[in-house]
Amino acid sequence: MSNPPDCCVTHTAGRQAAALAAVAGYCRQRTLAELEAELAAAAHPAAAADPAAAPAAADSAAAAAAREAGAVGKPL
């Protein structure tokens, strides 16, 4: 199981840090970009040797909207 800490939010930075520390022993902490790269490499093994061989990653509308709003990785 993986947890992308840059995709999780809570009410304060302190609570965010405490929550991430609490689950660290139960799951991997990987950024969204790292998870996307791992999934792309698993889905398209040729892309691991040649990144140009990988299809373009489709960005979800929700993820794009969250980034534009500045909501990714920030406390609520």
User: Would you list the domain boundaries of the chain?
Assistant: 1-48
pLDDT confidence of residue 21: 92
Give the tokens for residue 57. Answer: 């990653």
Collapsing DSSP states into helix, strand and coil, what is residue 3?
strand
Which residue is listed with tokens 């990987």?
30
Q: What is the pLDDT of residues 4-41, one digit of tens each?
A: 988 888 899 999 999 999 998 898 999 999 999 999 88
d(C-alpha 38, C-alpha 41), whole Å: 5
Query: Is the model's pTM score more than 0.85?
Result: no
Q: Which residues pair with 3 in a beta bridge?
A: 29
What is the DSSP secondary-structure string of 6-39?
A: GG---SSHHHHHHHHHHHTTTSEE--HHHHHHHH
